[in-house]
């Protein structure tokens, strides 16, 4: 019995210790960050609200409650009896349904804008950083020239000249939002191109663009993910500001910026709920993305690992 126990102890001691991967370690660090987890929960709740809201709302976002018109301050208040859970807007439309639609559009603009920025900026910066020399100089001077143009001026000009539409909103946001990502990707690529696995790929005759896609871009994912989470709220703020000015989405569509603008115009009529609900979702979404971005930055930072 003693010999068997001794052999078992030796086998246990000789067994290799199972290590954790880089991403597993980052995941564990992220979930230890209480603010990041709280932000992630808030974002999940907002996204569920946007997905499930249309199916549980008693009213359509375009329906008008004629009993409310003329007395919105009293009849349009939030109520479970009338089915207006968030109240109504100045035109008698259900604010819950309008807030759901505004959440869908604002999140879509933020996520699509950030996706465009990440894809274009990462590829552009990786190409510039990998080739270096004159190609790098020309590409980055082009970025510097584009960054000198006021971003909001370009976006407003596009919407005024070509008309207000979701397509022009995406094009306007995507045109300039990738510039910062390109500079970040280029800086990281300059340090990656001298790594042993890149030099080995060059020595074996792998094509430059294949090296960029297979070896450079995957190693930029940590920085790209962190920047994307911080870029989404910026895109939402841009869209909300444009909609607040009346140049964003057109009726009957709406967004957080348009709802906040409409609520601010009715503040002096004892209808605070028109401003409070869209502003509430706007604020918690921004803070959620910021907390998640900070948590990912701390989890993926190699200096903290």
pLDDT tens-digit map of 261-287: 888 877 777 778 888 899 999 999 989
| Predicted pLDDT at 1 | 44
Task: Give the predicted TM-score (pTM) of the model.
Answer: 0.79
Tokens, residue 155: 């976006």
Q: How many CB atoms lie within 10 A of CB 162?
A: 12
Task: Return the DSSP state at 246.
Answer: T
Fold type of domain 45-304: MetI-like fold (1.10.3720)
Task: Return the DSSP state at 18.
Answer: P
| Predicted pLDDT at 50 | 92
Delimit the domains of the chain by residue range.
Answer: 45-304
Tokens, residue 73: 């301050």
Residue linked to tokens 């980052």: 26
Task: Give the list of residues 6+ apart from residue 265 with CB closer than 8 angstroms, or none.
Answer: 90
| Predicted pLDDT at 22 | 65
Burial of 154 (0-12, 13-18, 19+ CB in 10 A): middle
Rounded to whole angstroms, the Cα distance separating 8 from 16 reads 14
Tokens, residue 246: 């009346």
| Predicted pLDDT at 2 | 47
| Predicted pLDDT at 11 | 45
Q: Each residue's pLDDT tens digit in the chain (305 positions)?
A: 444 555 555 545 554 555 566 667 777 888 888 888 999 999 999 999 999 988 998 888 888 888 877 777 776 788 888 888 888 888 888 889 999 999 998 888 888 888 888 888 899 999 998 888 899 899 999 988 888 877 777 777 777 777 777 777 777 777 777 888 889 889 888 888 888 888 888 888 888 888 888 888 888 887 888 888 888 888 888 878 787 777 777 777 888 888 888 888 777 777 788 888 999 999 999 899 889 888 888 777 655 44
- Alpha carbon 288 to its chain centroid, in Å, reads 10
Q: Over the stretch 91-135, which tens digit does the pLDDT of each residue have?
A: 888 889 999 999 998 888 888 888 888 888 899 999 998 888 899
Q: Which of 105, 246, 120 is nearest to 177 (CA)?
A: 120
């Amino acid at each position: 019995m003693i010999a068997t126990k001794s052999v078992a102890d030796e086998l246990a001691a000789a067994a290799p210790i199972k290590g954790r991967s880089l991403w597993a370690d980052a995941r564990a660090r992220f979930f230890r960050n209480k603010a990041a987890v709280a932000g992630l929960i808030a974002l999940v709740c907002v996204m569920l609200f946007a997905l499930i809201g249309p199916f549980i709302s008693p009213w359509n976002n375009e329906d008008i409650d004629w009993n409310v018109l003329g007395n919105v301050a009293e009849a349009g208040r939030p109520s479970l009896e009338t089915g207006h859970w968030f109240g109504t807007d100045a035109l008698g439309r259900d604010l819950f349904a309008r807030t759901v639609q505004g959440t869908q559009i604002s999140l879509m603009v933020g996520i699509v804008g950030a996706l465009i920025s990440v894809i274009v900026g990462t590829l552009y910066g990786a190409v510039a950083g990998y080739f270096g020399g004159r190609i790098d100089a020309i590409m980055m001077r082009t970025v510097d020239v584009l960054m000198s143009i006021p971003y909001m001026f370009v976006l407003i000009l596009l919407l005024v000249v070509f008309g207000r539409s979701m397509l022009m909103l995406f094009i306007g946001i995507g045109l300039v939002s990738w510039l910062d990502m390109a500079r970040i990707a280029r800086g990281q690529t300059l340090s990656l191109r001298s790594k042993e696995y890149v030099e080995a790929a060059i020595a074996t005759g792998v094509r430059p663009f294949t090296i960029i896609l297979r070896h450079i871009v995957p190693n930029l994912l940590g920085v790209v993910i962190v920047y994307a989470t911080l870029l989404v709220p910026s895109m939402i703020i841009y869209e909300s500001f444009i909609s607040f000015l009346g140049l964003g989405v057109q009726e009957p569509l709406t967004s957080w910026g348009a709802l906040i603008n409409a609520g601010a115009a009715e503040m002096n009529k004892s209808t605070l709920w028109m401003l409070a609900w869209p502003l509430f979702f706007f604020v918690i979404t921004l803070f959620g993305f910021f907390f998640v971005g900070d948590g990912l930055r701390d989890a993926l930072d190699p200096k903290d690992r």
